[in-house]
């Protein structure tokens, strides 16, 4: 069941587990059900609070913190649009994705 505010222009994906935490109700793990759209850079390099942890865990790179919105399925089966945040570096990919808030 799709949330009524899901934009028709975003393509649906098959279930894809994203290892991360969701700050919605303290649940962990969720699945992206669409591509992330409306991507914006929040912080780059030294402006990222956990830069040392990212470098130690995943390696050196030009780390950026990004945000966007996507259709997500929470562990209880609820499907809704959500604002998601994550960290990303070239050659390393998306890491530590989390749901910040549900939209609509």
pLDDT tens, 31-59?
999 999 999 999 999 999 999 999 999 99
DSSP 67: E
Does 68 have pLDDT greater than 70?
Answer: yes
Higher pLDDT, 15 or 62: 62
Number of Cβ within a 10 Å radius of residue 74: 18
Write down the mean pLDDT value for the chain. Answer: 81
Residues written for the chain: 104
Average pLDDT over residues 63-89: 93
Higher pLDDT, 104 or 23: 104
Average pLDDT over residues 10-28: 47
């Amino acid at each position: 069941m799709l949330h009524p505010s899901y934009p028709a222009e975003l393509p649906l994906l098959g279930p894809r587990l994203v290892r991360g935490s969701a700050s919605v109700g303290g649940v962990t793990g969720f699945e992206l059900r669409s591509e992330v759209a409306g991507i914006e850079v929040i912080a780059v390099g030294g402006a990222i609070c956990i830069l040392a942890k990212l470098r130690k865990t995943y390696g050196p790179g030009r780390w950026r913190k990004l945000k966007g919105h996507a259709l997500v399925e929470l562990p209880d089966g609820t499907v809704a649009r959500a604002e998601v945040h994550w960290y990303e570096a070239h050659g390393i990919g998306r890491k530590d994705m989390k749901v910040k808030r549900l939209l609509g």
